[in-house]
Amino acid sequence: MTKQFLKDAFDRGKIFKVDLQNPILYRNAKQYGISFGIPEYQVDFAPDGKIWER
């Protein structure tokens, strides 16, 4: 799923969901959120993300 697809498929300010079984979508969704100025720590929701490291 590309950034352009996300912009075409979803309006800014809308909530979208990510298939938790597809790690590629995590990365795309994260980059999409960051492109709107959302801090990286707020879009770090993937299980392999930094927030889950211990």
pLDDT digits (tens, 9 = 90+) for 27-52: 888 888 888 888 888 877 655 656 55
pLDDT of 31: 86
Domain assignment of residue 40, given as a range: 3-52
pLDDT of 23: 76
**Reported pTM:** 0.49
CA distance 5 to 52: 28
What is the chain's percent helix, strand, coil content, to nearest 5?
A: 50, 0, 50
Structural domains in the chain (count): 1
